[in-house]
Structure 1
């Protein structure tokens, strides 16, 4: 090859045969095209993932392939070498596979953490500062119900004033008697003598939850507790809160509630807390734990990566055995190296790129001097692409998967300050037909890639279509097509006998060649621009 120009070199595999799906466990329902990438530029990989391709986490390719490398691997019992490798790039056949996988990206600059995300960040910060992991909390987004009680305390889902329920219990009554739901004989006599209206209310109360029943049928002989606040209607409490918020906003704008200019606003603002604010909250000087996130280049491996390789591998091994139930001998060091350390992406640097450069990295989470989690990522021209995350099983309760995703979004925002076009965070594939994979849609604003036109569509517009069908075209313009579709296969570049040439030249030299259908399929999948840059290896 002439000059020092970097090329992407791939070997293409078809995808005619189905194989086992790792999501729905269909034995023959998973279909995808694949390429073995010897080397790849970050520009080409960026264009490929924007057409639905993805490296690593790959399913097995078709076993009917006759490529020499696959035959050799099968003979030696190393077929898993191919599809459990970071150098394998694959694209699901969306309208054929059992679980369509849609490329998803998050607008990192516009991202605002949800309530569940904030809960995870606060949980981690609390563990670092106090050494405590809150129990009984989950990461599911849920809108809390309004509290209708005037006073502090946990929010209750009932519309009945909780203070009113508590007022039914006298301070002079022993706690054991108050907690007893049974009605004593004197109480029963009073209830029997109650007016018809009260009896009717009692019957109506029997059809609602217990807490509401207690509120509607006060126990005779127990008066209101004067030490507790008076009960108020929910709408009155909401109105008061709204007025308080408006008052704070007027003060921030420099106008008082009566229209007069207000004193200059203090440091208190009404701006929402940013993701970085949660992450960078300063722990106290006497905090129990310290957390450090280190970025190390995995390909080519930097000295820091080499020094921490064994510690990182041990965490991966524990993760695979605990989470994926692998036997102790399966997550071998060589398998770990192929799967999460090997990458076709070479290190690249650009004057307008981030200081760390482009390529493949590991983000290591060091807790008190030891690795507890590792995020495998690719830094590309317009995005940070998440590849894989593994963590020490002892720290599963810290929700490290979600925490790492939030840290990677914050990292993307940090890189964008150095490289303005690097503004998205890719979460891999979104699989709506697999409920466990829908969590990726919680990082919003987000887009899904249309599988036919390869344009990005807001996820809110895609979900209704996915509810009706596993496979869906998101671009609603019937006249829209693939802007980068293959138009001339003859201009696709191939590598034959260490020589780069257009496919038209290659086919003239190899008159007996019968691979035009295969090359045409490959070109249609990568698009015209990539076909003219990527070198397709020809034996």
Structure 2
């Protein structure tokens, strides 16, 4: 449907029923009919802990900011978050690729074997030359193992020994701290927060300076300020990434009563090796945590749709803890419980409780609000006025998809 204008609460309720927007176009996949079911996914921003790949991305960006080290792109590196750079989120086409760019998956890496004479590898040889070399050179008799060197050990045994040494060291530190308690050491055992990883290793005068600016952008969502809301207010924003005074990326965000919803991101291709898609998602999660301090009910980060049947789109499930929206009960289910079901079938009812139903299911079609000839009226009055209007099935489908609550708030235009 096309949205001329919409309150942030209306859109919050819609995305909690599987809707998304692309500009002013608002749409909802029919999950049991589409070939690739798209499940709404949200991350618990307050409990989020970055994975190893996330930490690697943050360190990579920080090295660039502090020292100017631009990483070399690799085909198999950063797979966890790379797709977000082109599909973060709906309705946005990825930028055209350089026609001269080589797909590294088609290039074989041929390395010299240990037996290859690398000094003469460029000189052509014949079978006869090879035969002469093998007959002319006679190997020297071996001396056997050096008794002065330690015996070779399995890597598994070495790791086990190091782990035991670390545990013993921790126990010794615990004993010494109990005798001479030190407040500084107690905090060192706590895992670093996302914010600490973002600013880690950044000096006071880094080589590059990254800044963020936010501006309201064109959207059907009405900008709104609330006493218990964030200082920036609710609505749609452009979050601009400025590097040394040059804009390098723009993320479009919807700030709603209960969440920050990521719409999409676009960035300068010169900085693609920095994995800005992954980096921007981490910054947006940190931004959600910042807003939650101002508005306690705003605690989720929505990443759009999770498509389990498409391997390239599964990366969104690695921003955990996260939930998927059940397409039948419209309740949230932890993703760990959903994946076994989705491995069996692309479409699945995610809520295991068969009695759990849609709390906002359509019950009274006559109470659906419509806008007809500049007049707001319930559908029952509109149908009487039109004397048996033939659009009942269409209105009923609309109301069942948006739910009874939204259907009694949103005005459905009727010509």
TM range (shorter): 0.7 to 0.9
Any residues of structure 2 matched to 1:108-119 within 5 Å, and which? 108-119=45-56
CA distance in 1, matches of 2:164, 2:224: 53
Quote the offset at 1:443 in angstroms.
0.5
CA distance in 1, matches of 2:146, 2:183: 42
Residue aligned with 1:350, SS: coil
Quote the offset at 1:134 in angstroms.
3.0
User: Are 1:364 and 1:371, in contact at CA under 8 Å, matched by a contact in 2?
Assistant: yes
1:518 maps to 2:390: no
**TM-score, normalised with respect to structure 2:** 0.81
Deviations 1:135-163 (A, max 9, x none): 3662246xxxxxxxxxxxxxxxxxxxxxx
Q: Which residue of 1 aligns with 2:85?
A: none
CA distance in 2, matches of 1:457, 1:119: 29
Any residues of structure 2 matched to 1:494-513 within 5 Å, and which? 494-513=370-389
Q: Which residue of 1 aligns with 2:163?
A: 241
Residue aligned with 2:179, SS: coil
Any residues of structure 2 matched to 1:337-352 within 5 Å, and which? 342-352=218-228
Residue aligned with 1:425, SS: strand
CA distance in 2, matches of 1:92, 1:535: 21
Give RMSD over aligned pairs.
2.7
Q: Which residue of 2 aligns with 1:491?
A: 367
User: Are 1:249 and 1:270, in contact at CA under 8 Å, matched by a contact in 2?
Assistant: no
User: Are 1:377 and 1:385, in contact at CA under 8 Å, matched by a contact in 2?
Assistant: yes
Q: Residues 224 and 425 of structure 1: is their aligned pair in 2 closer, same or farther, counting only changes over 3 Å?
A: farther
Residue aligned with 1:518, SS: helix
User: Are 2:239 and 2:251, in contact at CA under 8 Å, matched by a contact in 1?
Assistant: yes
1:399 maps to 2:275: yes
Q: Which residue of 2 aligns with 1:261?
A: 178
Unmatched runs of 5 consecutive residues or more in structure 1: 1-34, 57-85, 142-174, 177-181, 191-219, 299-341
Quote the offset at 1:280 in angstroms.
2.1
Residue aligned with 1:112, SS: coil
Unmatched runs of 5 consecutive residues or more in structure 2: 81-117, 120-132
Deviations 1:448-492 (A, max 9, x none): 100010001111111111111111110111222111101001111
Q: Which residue of 2 aligns with 1:120?
A: 57
1:446 maps to 2:322: yes
Q: Which residue of 2 aligns with 1:36?
A: 2
**TM-score, normalised with respect to structure 1:** 0.63
Quote the offset at 1:244 in angstroms.
2.1
User: Are 1:430 and 1:440, in contact at CA under 8 Å, matched by a contact in 2?
Assistant: yes
CA distance in 1, matches of 2:312, 2:42: 18
1:132 maps to 2:69: yes
With a CA cutoff of 8 Å and minimum separation of 6, indicate the structure with the bigger relative contact order: 2
For the pair shown, which has the larger CA radius of gyration, 1 or 2? Answer: 1
User: Are 1:374 and 1:390, in contact at CA under 8 Å, matched by a contact in 2?
Assistant: yes
Of 199, 202, 211, the residue aligned with 1:283 is 202
CA distance in 1, matches of 2:158, 2:200: 36
Deviations 1:332-385 (A, max 9, x none): xxxxxxxxxx31001001111100000000110000101100110100000000
Residue aligned with 2:175, SS: coil
CA distance in 2, matches of 1:450, 1:246: 47
